[in-house]
Amino acid sequence: MIINVARKELKSLFSSPMGWIILALLMLAFGSFYLQGVNNYFEVMSGSIRPAERVGVTIFVGQTVYGIASFLMLFAVPLLSMRLISEERRSQTLPFLFSAPISLTEIVVGKFLGLIIFLSILVGYILLMLSTLNIWSDIDFGYLLSNSLGLILLAASFSALGIYFSSLTSQPIIAAILSFIALFALMGLDKFFGSQPNHWFGYISLMKHFQSFSRGVIDSKDIIYFILFITTFLVLTVRRLDADRLRG
């Protein structure tokens, strides 16, 4: 059942110009940063003579591309997630889902999964693009995989939060703005508490947990953090939809 809901969501993303445009624009951005990264690599490396200053091409280009990817997701995900529930609320199609033999959890997880599959197209594309470096050099695939995993977890967290805000309102654009502000705050929490690196407030920042992935470290602590983050917001969404049924 979850798969059927996810399929419907994917179909709906691809049947509007929104999905295609975001996909195309992001790929254009990633592509140009990749090219720039490769160009810069030769300039910078020819300048640095001492071995300590030299960085591998994977890390050099990867850092640029994944850095910009995590930043762009901040804009792209709210735009994609905003419609998931609020649009159904606005066009009154929720009864269609509610009166089908699907539980609320299945609806929410299905919608979430649909969006994740859509976003993983982007992550897959970045991975493929960076793998082309392997044609003329020997790249570190472990680093790429760790970054991809980090990026997909980050995007999934964004989506979970986006779905929750989408369930609160019947205006997609309000959902987008709210989730963008919330995400921006959560991303920057560690910057605000930069003076106290071990403060718990800094610890709940999304970026802080993405950083270890971007260094190539897969830390179970960070994975658990992301999973908890996603679960929290999905549960909140289910509860919000259940309140519709109870309160009317």
Applying CB under 8 A, the residues found at the interface with other proteins are: 1, 4-5, 7-8, 11-12, 15-16, 91-103, 245-246, 248
Closest CA to 75 of 181, 224, 166, 186: 181
Shortest Å, Cβ 245 to other proteins: 5
Q: Which CB sits closer to other proteins, 2 or 153? A: 2
CB atoms within 10 A of CB 112: 25
Alpha-carbon distance of 51 to 196, in angstroms, equals: 34
Rounded Cα–Cα distance for residues 177 and 174 (Å): 5
Three-class SS state of 217:
coil
Work out the number of other CB atoms within 10 angstroms of the CB of residue 221.
Answer: 8
Extract the tokens encoding 245: 């049924």
CB nearer to other proteins: give 88 or 222: 88
Nearer to other proteins, 91 or 220 (CB): 91
Instruction: With H, G, I as helix, E, B as strand and everything else as coil, classify residue 96.
Output: helix
Task: Return the number of the residue (227 or 243) whose C-beta is nearest other proteins.
Answer: 243
Contact 74, 26 (CB under 8 A): no
Q: How far is the CB of 88 from other proteins (least distance, A)?
A: 8
**Shortest distance in whole angstroms from residue 6 CB to other proteins:** 11
Backbone φ and ψ of 49, nearest 5°? -95, -40
CB of 237 to other proteins, least distance (A): 18
Distance between CA 69 and CA 240 in Å, rounded? 31
203-206 contact pairs (CB < 8 A, 24+): 206/154, 206/157
Distance CA 183, CA 163 (A): 12
| CB closer to other proteins, 18 vs 129 | 18
Beta carbon of residue 19, minimum distance to other proteins (angstroms, whole number): 11
Q: Which residue, 83 or 209, has its beta carbon nearer to other proteins? A: 83
Query: Min. distance of Cβ 92 from other proteins in angstroms?
Result: 4
